[in-house]
Structure 1
Amino acid sequence: MHILFVANYSPPYGGGIQFVIASLTRALLARGHEVSILAADTGIPRGISEWKGARLIGVPASNLLERRSVPYPLFSPPALRRALNEVLPSVDVVHIHGMLYLSSVMAAWSARRGGRRVILTEHVGSVPYNNLLFRAAQASAMATLGRACLRGCDEVVVLNGRVAAELQPLLPRRVSLRRIPNGVDAALFHPPSDRAALRERLDLHTPTILFAGRVVEKKGIDLVLDAARRLPEWTFAICGQDSELLSGTPANVRIGGKLDQAALAEWYGAADLLLLPSEGEGFPLVVQEALACGLPVMVTDDATNREYLSDQVAFFVRRHGAQITGALRGVFDRAEDLASRRAPARRWAVEHFDWERTVEAYLHLYQGK
Structure 2
Amino acid sequence: MSTTEAPVRVLLVSHYYPPHLGGVENVVRQEAVRLAAAGAEVTVLTSGERSSSTLEEGVRVVRVAAWNGAEKAGVPFPVLAPTVLTTALRLARRADVVHLHDCLYLTSWAAGLAALLTRTPHLLTQHVGMVQHPSAVVRGVQQAVYAVAGRALLRRARRVITLNASVAAFVLRHGARPERAVHLANGVDTELFRPAADADERARARKEFGLPEDRPLVLFAGRLVPKKGFDLLLAAHGPAAGHDLVFAGDGDSAPLAGRAGVHHLGTLTPERLAVLYRACDVFALPSTAEGFPLTVQEAMASGLPVLTTDDPGYAPYALDRGLVRLVERDPEVLRAALAALTGDQELRERMGRYSRGYATGSFDWTEHAATLLRWYREHRG
Pair 1:92 & 2:96 matched: yes
1:39-50 aligned within 5 A: 39-42=46-49, 45-50=50-55
Q: Kindly indicate whether the alpha-carbon contact (under 8 Å) linking 2:224 and 2:251 is maintained by their aligned counterparts in 1.
A: yes
Shift of 1:335: 2.6
Q: What residue number does 2:334 align with?
A: 324
Match of 2:108 among 104, 107, 114: 104
Matches for 1:224-243 after TM superposition, within 5 Å: 224-242=233-251
2:70 aligned partner: 65
The one of 2, 11, 15 aligned to 1:8: 15
Question: Residue type of the partner of 1:297?
Answer: V
TM, length-normalised to structure 2: 0.89
Residue 203 (structure 2) pairs with residue 193 (structure 1):
no
- After superposition, the C-alpha distances for 1:29-76 in whole angstroms (9 at most, x for unaligned) are 21222211111224xx42323322222222232223212211112223
Superimposed CA distance per residue, residues 313-349 of structure 1 (whole angstroms, 9 cap, x where no aligned partner) = 3112211112211111122333322222221211011
Identity of aligned residues (%): 33
1:185-224 to 2 correspondences below 5 Å: 185-203=189-207, 204-224=213-233
Distance 1:231 1:221, change over 3 A: farther
Distance 1:98 1:256 in 2: 29
Deviations 1:243-279 (CA, angstroms, capped at 9, x unpaired): 7676524121122222222321222122111010001
**Letter paired with 2:272:** A
For 1:273 and 1:306, the matched residues in 2 are separated by 22
Counterpart residue identity of residue 82, structure 1? T
- 1:139 is paired with a residue whose SS is helix
Tell me the CA shift for residue 175 of structure 1. Answer: 6.5
Tell me the TM-score normalised to structure 1 length.
0.92
Cα distance in 2 between the residues matched to 1:241 and 1:195: 29
AA aligned opposite 2:243: W
Distance 1:25 1:301 in 2: 32
Q: How far apart are the structure 2 equivalents of 1:170 and 1:69? A: 25
Do the aligned partners of residues 178 and 306 (structure 1) sit closer, same or farther apart at CA in structure 2, a change above 3 Å counting?
Answer: closer
**Number of the residue aligned with 1:358:** 368
Deviation at 1:81, TM superposition (A): 1.6
Cα displacement string for residues 75-127 of structure 1 (whole angstroms, at most 9, x for unaligned residues) = 23x31122113222221111100102232122123213323221100011211
Q: Which residue of 1 aligns with 2:162?
A: 158
Partners of 2:52 and 2:375 in 1: how far apart?
29
Within the alignment, does 1:128 sit opposite 2:132 as a pair? yes
Q: Which residue of 1 aligns with 2:264?
A: 255
**CA distance in 2 between partners of 1:197 and 1:34 (Å):** 40
- What do you get for the CA RMSD once the two structures are aligned? 2.1
Q: Can you list the C-alpha shifts for 1:272-321, whole angstroms capped at 9, x where unaligned?
A: 11010001214211111111111010001111234433224311221111
Q: 1:202 to 1:172 in 2, by over 3 A?
A: closer
Q: Could you tell me whether the CA contact under 8 Å between 2:89 and 2:115 is conserved in 1?
A: no
Conserved 8 A contact 1:47-1:57: yes
Which among 29, 39, 44 is matched to residue 36 of structure 2?
29
Question: CA 1:33/1:229 → structure 2, altered by over 3 Å: closer, same or farther?
Answer: same
Matched residues, number: 366
In 1, distance between residues paired with 2:377 and 2:12?
A: 15
Q: Does 1:286 align with 2:286?
A: no
User: Are the equivalent residues in 2 in contact too, given 1:154–1:175 (CA < 8 A)?
Assistant: no
**CA shift digits 1:122-177 (9 cap, x unpaired):** 01121122322222221111101111222332211111111121221333659711
Deviates more, 1:302-311 or 1:186-195: 302-311
| Cα distance change of structure 1 residues 329 and 197 upon mapping to structure 2, 3 Å threshold | same
Say whether the 8 Å CA contact 1:109–1:152 is kept in structure 2: no
Are positions 1:264 and 2:273 aligned together? yes
